[in-house]
Structure 1
Amino acid sequence: MKTHQIRQLTTELSYMDFIKIDKKQNIIFMRVMLRNEFRNFHIATYNIKTNNLKIWNESNNDNSILDFDYNQSDNLAVVSFSVAEATEKLEEANKNQTTMSPPKYSIDILDTEGKIERHINNIEKFITGVSLSSDKRSILLSFNESLNSSITQVEEINVSTGMENTILKSKSNYSNIRAVKYDVNKKGFFFLSSLNNSKNYNAIEIPKKSMLSYYNFKTKKVKTLWNTDKGVIVSYSIGIKKNK
């Protein structure tokens, strides 16, 4: 950021996204696709000091990562699913000319080496975002009710009990809620959303306008932080200020 110098870190991957860095700024976590015939996503880590790339669960060709979040307690909340099951659901919908139903998503908490510390739940919803609180006591999920509905919800899951509590439901001025992220103090969360002016809504279509907003748990109000008149907010990241 100071020198504006750019250095390419990886060359051996087919695709990557959802890039996050650990609190020591040594390890990069990312969702990746390998250069092979299989199209499932893995989590990979890249060590900036040693230039070492590690693919988690590399030999598994069916399990695929939908989304994940890293918190400052050195844990990850991971949403994964079976490619075979998702393909079966899609083929069934095409055959019967019906709307596709979601596969069964597994919600898990992992350590920074990729080991599952706790299985939280299996959920059959069209999940659009996941976030793990800094105290590791709760998980946020955003999801669409169906592929043809702009109605989305945000739920908070109690890690200890598995209980789900609805926090926020979409409205016409912010539909297709996605990419939820707790703030570090757990006073609220950030999220992306879109304006819904279409009667023929499809969740997989790219929205024409998007915005970054914040929900306050205490006031239960949403504040728009930034919106785009042209273009779409693809992703965002929350930086943590270091104490001087």
Structure 2
Amino acid sequence: MFSYDLQSKKTQQLSNELFAINYIGPTTKTGPIILSAVKKGERVLKTVLYDKQNHKLEFMDDKDLDSNTWAVSYNTEANKTYLARFSENEREKQRNISNKQQKAMVPPDYTVVELNNETKQERPIISLKKEQIISLSSTGNQLFLITSPSINRPPIEYSLVDSKTGERRKLDLPISSRSDVYLSHDAKGIYYLGSTSKQDFNKGRGIYYYDFATKKIEPVFLQENGFINNFMLVSRE
């Protein structure tokens, strides 16, 4: 992991203990950087906190060699982090079944947990049976989930989950994005990378805002002379 200073234009290496990094997310100015990463010599994605002041990595549940942290979302209002996890052993079991039967792979169970960034305590929010959580985003007490009953196959489903009660409400949205979808800070809509066409993902590709109430899609930033691979919605504070 590296940092780049926009003013001094200097690059600094922050870590060398990691084999792979799946996700990097900022929190507060003095708070940790949250990662989903694989430690050297291991294979599961761990939840990792990087202390910017002491320049140290803290591996959550470091002895757990089964739980994969697949998706991560930091909640600015609550100063909490939401994690989507699954069992590596269960995934391997489902993969073997899929290979033997020559059928689409069924996902392992996924669980969303709430991590208190100060106390490091975790609280389970919701568990999904044989349903993959591809991505998640959070604002206030709302979680936005992108899920699928299959691995790397349609359909894609969207849901809102109340982080206090775990109640889930599925949404019918006119988009087909599998990632780079973020709940707005007022939870009244989503920002997403994709297009206005549910059939053609690359038609008018760019960043859009979809309003839950009006059901209207508004362009925010369209790619013209290039290709947008990823984007992140962050707080101004």
TM over 0.5: yes
Partner of 1:223: 218
Provide the identity percentage.
21
The CA deviation string for residues 96-133 of structure 1, in whole angstroms up to 9 with x for no partner, is 111111110011111115421x2111113232211121
Matches within 5 A, 1:74-223: 74-112=79-117, 113-116=119-122, 118-123=123-128, 124-133=130-139, 135=140, 137-147=141-151, 149-170=153-174, 174-193=175-194, 211-223=206-218
Instruction: Determine the C-alpha separation between the residues in 2 that align with 1:145 and 1:228.
Output: 31
Q: CA RMSD in A?
A: 2.5
Runs of 5+ in structure 1 lacking a partner? Answer: 199-206
C-alpha contact (below 8 Å) 1:152/1:169 kept by paired residues: no
Instruction: For residue 162 of structure 1, give the secondary structure of its aligned residue in structure 2.
Output: coil
| Cα separation, partners in 2 of 1:234 and 1:55, compared to 1, 3 Å | farther
Instruction: Determine the C-alpha separation between the residues in 1 that align with 2:63 and 2:149.
Output: 33
4+ residue runs of structure 1 moved beyond 4 angstroms?
194-198, 207-210, 227-232
How far off its partner does 1:87 sit?
Answer: 0.5
Partner of 2:75: 71
Aligned residue pair count: 227
TM-score between the two structures when normalised by the length of structure 1: 0.82
How far off its partner does 1:149 sit?
Answer: 4.1
C-alpha contact (below 8 Å) 2:177/2:192 kept by paired residues: no
How far off its partner does 1:232 sit?
Answer: 5.4
Structure 1 residue identity aligned to 2:49: T
TM-score between the two structures when normalised by the length of structure 2: 0.84
Pick aligned residue for 2:63 from 46, 56, 59 = 59
Runs of 5+ in structure 2 lacking a partner? Answer: 1-5
Partner of 1:238: 233
